[in-house]
Structures are given as structure tokens and as C-alpha cells.
Structure 1
Amino acid sequence: MENLLELRNEIDAIDKEIVGLFQKRMKISSEVAEYKISTGKKVFDRAREEEKIRAVTELADNDFNRHGIEELFQQIMSMSRKLQYQLLAQNGVVGRLPFIAVEEIEKSRVRVVFQGVEGAYSEAAMKAFFQDDITSFHVEHWRDAMEAIAEGSADFAVLPIENSTAGSVSDMYDLLMEFENYIVGEQVIRCQHNLLGLPDAELSDIKTVYSHSQALSQCKEYLGTHRDWKQIPMVNTAMAAKKVKEDGDKTQAAIASAYAGEKFGLKVLADKIYDNEANSTRFIIVTNQRIFRWDAKKISISFEVPHTSGSLYNILSHFIYNNLNMTKIESRPIPGRNWEYRFFIDFEGNLNDGGVKNALRGIREEANNMRILGNY
């Protein structure tokens, strides 16, 4: 025990030296920041850091220590960069964000497009977000909606981004990268699925069920009790209801909202057939304008990182050091680059906040192809 205490005392003494040396290093880093402020040099110098890592790892006397020193100095240099970013921000060197703050997002006398047909959940989300005096139209595909606002035939589009049961709508992330459109709002809608049939149909008549693939998966427990029913995916739930109405075949049913049933004159054969009582879909409100409300509270960004150890951690650490709460992270394959991924992150904050500006500056310098997708 005495030997253990002696060893611990030695470690305590070494740790004290490490703290002192770390603080001395940070002081010099602040002087480096002052130089960069006066000369306009960038904080992140990848070549310099790679050279530094090689130099310090060569001082290690075995492979285990070499790896540990590499990880240690990667983090020390990351913390040094964050200090320099903060000092740059304190001196007003924050860079310009290409977004304009507005008092309100216009919700009346605008043109709004949603995907699907009347009775779709996306229409319900549109009605919940916008006021009554709007001009709206619907399109068949999500891409059509993105093209409509990109070309100016609509001011806003209402599109699904995530379901609480089925998860993210992955294709939407790809479209956000393809088009220069931006998120300015969101609307959550409860998805209360019902089995809808023709007015003269009975449950015993049903042989085929139509709906969106996610709606089918969200009702799998109920559908599991009718294994003889054929399940056919549709573009969305309302279009499934429309098909059942137009076909006039009482052996067909649709899984959709009661609202869609009213729109197309269908009867509820079974209500509340979803597996999860809290099942909801989050819709995003998208426009081609780079605007955000003064009181916006959530930011969405995308970026890529190099295939090196700790690269994603270093990016995520910008949220930690700036006390920002990350609420979601998603990854999508990068087209044409096998096994490489683009990351999408939602976090709490406003583009006018100092901590947000600081984090975004660091991420922009250290990641590849960072984009701000919206503040809402």
C-alpha cells in the first residue's frame, strides 16, 4: 500500500506539471491568435498539424505510447484551435453568414407546394403551419416540390423529414444537398392511421391494402393479423386512398388518415391501427431564400470529414466547447464515392448567437463542404 501511495503521489506531481505546461501552451496559443488576427491567417493549418504529430510521435519509445501521444496531441491542438476561434470572435473576426434575419416567416398570401394529393399528411402539416389565405398546389414527387421552389413557382414547400417510428426520410437529405433550398420552419403531425375502404365494403371483403411504405411498416402489428392481405406501397397515404376510390373495388383498402377518408368518400373499416400511439411525422418548411427568424432555435448543417482517426470527434467537440446541444445526427452515402459519408446534424441555437458563430467557424475550417441548411 505504501508503494501504491508513493506511485500515486508521483502521478499527482506529474499531473501538476502537465496542467502547468498545458496552461503555458494555451497562453502561447492566444498569442498565435493575436498574430492571426493582425495578419488574417487561418486558424487551421492541416499540414502544420500533421507535421507536428509526426514529430512528437517519433519521440515515443514504443507503439502503445506512440498511439497515445498521437491522440493526446490531436486533442491538445484541437483545444488550441477552439481557444483561437474564441479569441477571433471576441475581436470581431467572425466572418459573414449568408443568411438574413427576419421578424417572421411569411405565412399568408404565399404560394405553397406539398407532395401527394389532397388529404395527405403533408397537406395537414401545411394547414397547421400556414394561414388560410394561401395559394397551394400539390405534386407527385418530393423532387417536384423542391424544383417548384427552386424555380420560383412556389414560395415554400412542405416535405417530410422524419417519422418517430420509421426514422428519417433519407431521400430528403439527398434533395437538401442537391438543391439550394433552405429550411425555415418545421411542423409535427400525429400520424393516426386508419384502414379505409369503399362505403359498401366490409373488413371481410379486403384482399389488398395500399399505402406509403412507412405507413405499412407503422401498422405491421395490425397487418400481421391479416396475413392473407397483399400489401402494395404507394407514393403516399392520400394517393393510396385516392386509388381505392377511383378503382371502385371493394376488395381494396388504404391506410391513411381519417381526413383523407373524408376527402375521397371512404369508410373507416378499422381506426387507430398504428403500432405506436405517439407516432408522428416531422415536416420541414423549405424555401429558396436564405432567411431565418430572429427567435429561431434549431440549426441544421451538413459536412464531410476525412477518413482519419478522430476526425468526426474533433468536429463534434465544437458543440461541446460552445455549450451547444446536438439533437440529431444522420449520415448519407456521398454519390460517386463508395464508403464515404456526409453527415447531417441538428443542434439548438440561433445564427446570431456567439457560441453558434464560433462553432460554425471551427467546423467550416476543419470539415469539408460544410453547408448551413437552415435556422428555424
Structure 2
Amino acid sequence: MYTKSPGQTPGLFWFYAKPNHKKKKNNKLMKTGTRVAIQGIKASFHEEAAFKFFGKDIQTIECNSFKQTCESLENKESDFVVMAIENSIAGSLLPNYTLIREYNFAVVGEVYLPIQLHLMALPGVKFEDVKFATSHPIAIRQCVDFFYDYPNIQVIEGNDTAACAKRIKEEQLTDTVAIANTLAAELYGLNIIERRIESNKKNFTRFLILKQDKTEEQPDTNKASICFQVGNHVGALAKVLNIFAEQQVNLSKIQSMPVLGKRNDYYFYVDMEWTSMEKYDKAIRQALKYTVNFNIMGEYQKNDKV
């Protein structure tokens, strides 16, 4: 694992400490009554993802925004955060990368969730009665092809898929549908009037599991999420990426984001996987020589089953 050197500026450079390769069960991620902060309410996709990773014997802390989930974790009102980071249709949730970096949380796991989106309304409402559709912006982006064929329906953004379904129930909105999952329809007593409206049926979202403590080692790690910057000159990024290629470390994702207020400066967020911890460690040590603001956001077990 890698930790900050004493007295060093937070998030700048990291030094190597020999990892413990002894296998051990990670009970701390699965203990009864774990408090998990989610963006949204009951029956939201974030709650579904939390249940898939932790099991159902957890306490979900409902938050109105992703920033609020981070504040919950920072204030020790929750033990973990489950945060969506990318969708196979809508792409990366770029603001969430910034939140993870700024709060300096540890990525301790990941979970993939198949996303099936349905139109739901109060019992008795017919599709031809619908004037408005409401959901989370990311869910809406996954259904643009459907609504292209129905320009008469006004699409309105909301805070959460399940919360939009709940609002229809509470306010008895007969001209409005929500875009949400079957759990929301069941919980809030709505009828599904159009099924599977997402643009691509092979639709999934990747969620990261976040924790405050970066010093606690995870067992059996074979994937990492890192962030760094390089100089603005020819070959600077290529040199770093080639280091990982030479050590057979697979880069499964690269995401760039501009540094606020600095022209031509970028943060590079990289997910990587390996089969040899020794080669991964060697690659990290070499990459440190050619990067600045190098931050291992987390080392964890790959979990890409949908």
C-alpha cells in the first residue's frame, strides 16, 4: 500500500510500503448495521447497488446530492458511500471524480448494476394522458432515443429516480410519469406503462464504494484507481502509460479533467488491473518519477460482474 510521508502536502507524492499479501476476510466491509450513504431514497438505484455490495442488513443514509453523501461520510454520520461513477450509455459522472479527490476518500470496492428503466404512473393513467416525464438527469440521458419519438412529452429533471416516483404518488399527479426501476413502482404503488425505455438494453452503471480511512489495507487487491498530473510537453503522458504497459498492468479506464483555473493542466484518473502485485508495485514506483500530485485513490478487488 502507499501512504503519505509525514509533513508532506496532502495528495502530492506517495512512498512505497511493502504490502501484506496474506489473505484475510474483509469483515469490516460486511458488518451488520453498516451505515451506507446513498444519493437518493429507498428503491433508488444507489440503494439497490448498496444492497448488492453489502447485503440488505445495512442502514442506508438518504442524501439529496452526491456532495451530501461525502459530507455524511466526512462527519462520521455514515461508514461508507456508494457513488455512481459511470454509465454505459450516459458516460462518466465527471463531478464525482472531483468529489472523491477533494474529500480524499479511499475507494475500497466497486459494484456494477444492470439498469432497467421504466415509465410508471398512477393506476388508471394511460400513456396518451402523459404530459410530463421526470427523473434524475443521468437516467434521462439514458432514454433520449425514446423521448425523441414523443416530442409532446416535456422531460423534467429531478433529484432522484425513486423520489420522482414518490412525488407522483404523494401529489397524485395524473399527467406525469417517472422514469425509475421496478422497486420504485412496487414501493410507491405505481403502474408501469412502458417497460425498458433505455436506449441500449445492455445498460449498466458502475458504482464505487468509498471510505474515509486510506491507511487500512484491503485484502487480495487486483485493481486500483489513481489520479495524477504530468507536464505539458510531448510524450509526458505516454511515458507514464508505457511504464504500466511494460509491467503488464492493464489500464481499464483513463479519464481526463481540466484543473480549475489552469489552462492546459489536467488531472488524469486511471483505473488499472494486475495479476502480479510485484509488477504493479514496480510500475507505481517508476511512475512517481514522472508525475505530480500522484494519488492512489484506492486499491481493491475487481468486481465487474453485472
* Superposition TM-score tier, normalisation by shorter sequence: 0.7 to 0.9
Kept in 1: contact 2:107–2:297 (CA 8 A): yes
Q: Which amino acid aligns with 1:220?
A: V
- Residue 271 of structure 2 aligns with an amino acid whose one-letter code is D
Residue segments in structure 2 that go unaligned for 5+ positions in a row: 1-14, 301-306
Match for 1:183 among 88, 107, 113? 107
Q: Which amino acid aligns with 2:25?
A: E
C-alpha change, 1:334 and 1:98, in structure 2 (3 Å) is farther
Matched, 1:323 2:248: yes
Distance 2:132 2:29 in 1: 43
Bigger helix fraction: 1
Matched residue SS, 2:200: coil
Deviation at 1:200, TM superposition (A): 2.5
Distance (Å, rounded) in 2 between the aligned partners of 1:373 and 1:95: 14
Q: Tell me which residue corresponds to 1:248.
A: 172
Deviations 1:130-154 (A, max 9, x none): 1232222211110111121122111
Which one of 291, 312, 318 corresponds to residue 237 of structure 2? 312
**Structure 1 residues 372, 365: closer, same or farther in 2, change over 3 A?**
same
Q: Is the 8 A contact 1:195 1:253 kept in 2?
A: yes
Query: Residues 134 and 100 (structure 1 numbering): CA distance in 2 closer, same or farther, change over 3 Å?
Result: farther
Provide the TM-score with structure 2 as the length reference: 0.87
Instruction: Tell me the distance in 2 between the aligned counterparts of 1:358 and 1:197.
Output: 56
Equivalent residues in 2 for 1:107-122, closer than 5 Å: 107-109=30-32, 110-122=34-46
Matched residue SS, 1:183:
strand
CA distance in structure 2 between the aligned counterparts of 1:144 and 1:189, rounded to whole angstroms:
22
User: Which of residues 13, 16, 37 is equivalent to 1:95?
Assistant: 16
Q: 1:356 offset after TM fit, Å?
A: 1.1
1:348 is the counterpart of 2:273: yes
Query: How many residues are paired up?
Result: 282
Shift of 1:184: 0.7
Q: For each residue in 1:317-356, what CA deviation from the matched residue of structure 2 results, as whole angstroms up to 9, or x when unmatched?
A: 1111111111000011112213321000001037x81111
SS of the residue 1:314 aligns to:
helix
Aligned CA distance change for structure 1 residues 197 and 320 (closer, same or farther; 3 Å)? same
Alignment of 1:64-213 (within 5 A): 95-96=16-17, 103-104=25-26, 105-109=28-32, 110-213=34-137
Secondary structure in 2 matching 1:113 = strand
Task: After TM superposition, give the deviation of residue 99 of structure 1 in Å.
Answer: 9.7
Structure whose alpha-carbon radius of gyration is higher: 1
**Distance in 2 between residues matched to 1:337 and 1:289, nearest whole Å:** 30
CA distance in 2: counterparts of 1:97 and 1:236, whole angstroms:
43
Task: State the 1:292 CA deviation.
Answer: 4.2
Q: Aligned partners of 2:70 and 2:168: how far apart in 1?
A: 28
Kept in 1, the 8 Å contact 2:133–2:177? The answer is yes
Tell me if structure 2 keeps the 8 A contact 1:184–1:292. no
Measure the CA separation in 1 of the matches of 2:279 and 2:75.
35
- For 2:4, the equivalent position in structure 1 comes to none
CA–CA distance in structure 2, aligned partners of residues 218 and 163 of structure 1: 9
CA deviation map 1:149-207 (0-9, x unaligned): 12211111111001011111111100011102111111111110000111121111100
Show the counterpart of 2:258.
Answer: 333
**What is the letter of the counterpart of residue 207 of structure 1?**
K
Contact conserved, 1:103 with 1:293, CA < 8 A, in 2? no
SS of the residue corresponding to residue 16 of structure 2 reads: coil
Q: Which runs of 4+ in 1 moved over 4 A?
A: 97-102
Over 3 Å counting, the alpha-carbon distance change for 1:99 and 1:268 in structure 2 is: farther
Please give the root-mean-square deviation of Cα atoms over the aligned residues, in Å.
Answer: 1.9
C-alpha contact (below 8 Å) 1:198/1:266 kept by paired residues: yes
How much identity, in percent, do the aligned residues show?
30
- Aligned partners of 2:21 and 2:248: how far apart in 1? 24
User: 2:150 aligned with 1:229, yes or no?
Assistant: no
Contact 2:222 2:277 survives alignment (8 Å)? no
CA distance in 2, matches of 1:344, 1:299: 11
Whole-angstrom distance in 2 between the partners of 1:223 and 1:98:
51
Q: In the aligned structure 1, how far is the partner of 2:234 from the partner of 2:167?
A: 52
Q: Which residue of 2 aligns with 1:359?
A: 283
Calculate the TM-score normalised by the size of structure 1. 0.71
Segments of 5+ residues of structure 1 without an aligned counterpart are 1-93
Question: Which residue type is aligned with residue 95 of structure 1?
Answer: Y
